[in-house]
Amino acid sequence: MLKQAANDVSGEWSEGTNLRGSNGLLKGTIRDGKLFARYCSQDGEKGYTACPEYGDETNYFIREGDGLIRYQKFGNEYKKEIALYRDVAGEQLLIDGANCQEETDEESAP
């Protein structure tokens, strides 16, 4: 859950799959309609700074319809990475068929 006070946002985050996941804390600032986020890890996952220290702003989020779009920083520019939607009990999750096809193709390659 995230909390907002003026343009400052803070709270907890988690992400993962059935195989592995990670979680921690988030601090961010809203600038020009974008939430620029910094993370720290509470579980020692590689790629994240350990709490209570926070990493750099490596991505930002924007609202698009009912979801959030995450833009990842690559070098000096940001590229659209993933669309995130609320998990609602009893409803089918949205799936990006293009990404699923790529994964299926990779798994079936000899």
User: pLDDT tens track of the chain, all 110 residues?
Assistant: 789 999 999 999 887 666 677 889 999 999 999 999 999 998 877 778 899 999 998 899 999 888 889 999 999 899 999 888 777 766 665 565 555 544 444 444 45
Please name the amino acid found at residue 64.
E
Q: Residue 75 pairs with which residues in a beta bridge?
A: none
Query: What predicted TM-score, i.e. pTM, was given to this entire model?
Result: 0.70
> Domain span at residue 44?
2-108
Strand ranges in 1-110 using DSSP code E only, listed in sequence order = 2-5, 8-16, 21-31, 34-41, 59-64, 67-74, 77-84
Domain count, the chain: 1
45 membership: H or E segment, kind and range: none
Three-state secondary-structure class, residue 89: coil
